[in-house]
Amino acid sequence: MVVLNRIYTKTGDDGTTALGSGERRPKYDLRIAAFGTVDETNAAIGIVRLHLGQAPELDHMLGLIQNDLFDLGADLAVPQAAGKAERLRVVSSQVERLERDIDSLNAHLAPLTSFVLPGGTPAAAYLHLARTICRRAERIVVELAANPDEPVGAAAIQYLNRLSDLLFVASRSVNDNGQGDVLWVPGQNR
């Protein structure tokens, strides 16, 4: 259980923040940017959930995802180290659940005939915003993982990749199963 008695500690006033291991890093460190952007994704999903209306199945999916994103943040906040006891890590079953949810949502969608512009319902627009933040988180995590001194589990990267797909499919789902999608028309304004 996490206990937060004081919200401000003043320990970050020097421009550093602590990893879950206790190690302090500059606030601009790539690992800090990785779990910070995962947190930003989570906040955007929170906004989506305010705009879902009567979509209890999707709301439930997104609630599970928000919890997973805290798991992912915890995973990224404690670098994996050889020979040390494992901490909380994102696992393949979480990725597999996203795949099942994507398939479930996608089964009801109209086929795509063009790229989709962010829009339609407010929930769909916010889902697109969450998707783009998630893609940024994925890029940062992949960059972090490319450094041999900064290990990242494969499931963490896979989770973000699937999540952005789920957010796209969910945006179409809340747009009347794709019927309300705003489609890109190449060269329309020439």
Q: Is residue 54 part of a domain?
A: yes
Q: Please give the Cα distance from 83 to 71 (Å, whole number).
A: 21
- Check residue 183 and give its pLDDT: 93
Q: Is residue 2 part of a domain?
A: no
- Check residue 5 and give its pLDDT: 67
Q: Identify the domain containing residue 48 by its residue range.
A: 27-78+88-178
Q: Please give the Cα distance from 32 to 18 (Å, whole number).
A: 9
Q: What residues of the chain score a pLDDT lower than 70?
A: 1-6, 11, 81-85
Q: Is residue 149 part of a domain?
A: yes
Give the CA dihedral 114, 115, 116, 117, nearest 10 degrees.
-120
Q: Is residue 10 part of a domain?
A: no
- pTM of the predicted structure, to 2 decimals: 0.91
Q: Is residue 139 part of a domain?
A: yes
Q: Is residue 121 part of a domain?
A: yes
Number of domains in the chain: 1
Tell which residue, 43, 33, 97, 50, has the closest CA to residue 66: 43
Q: Is residue 108 part of a domain?
A: yes
Question: First and final CA of the chain: distance in angstroms?
Answer: 58
Q: Is residue 3 part of a domain?
A: no
Instruction: Output the domain CATH number for residue 173.
Output: 1.20.1200.10
List pLDDT tens digits, range 99-124.
999 999 999 998 888 999 999 999 99
- Check residue 3 and give its pLDDT: 63
- Check residue 113 and give its pLDDT: 87
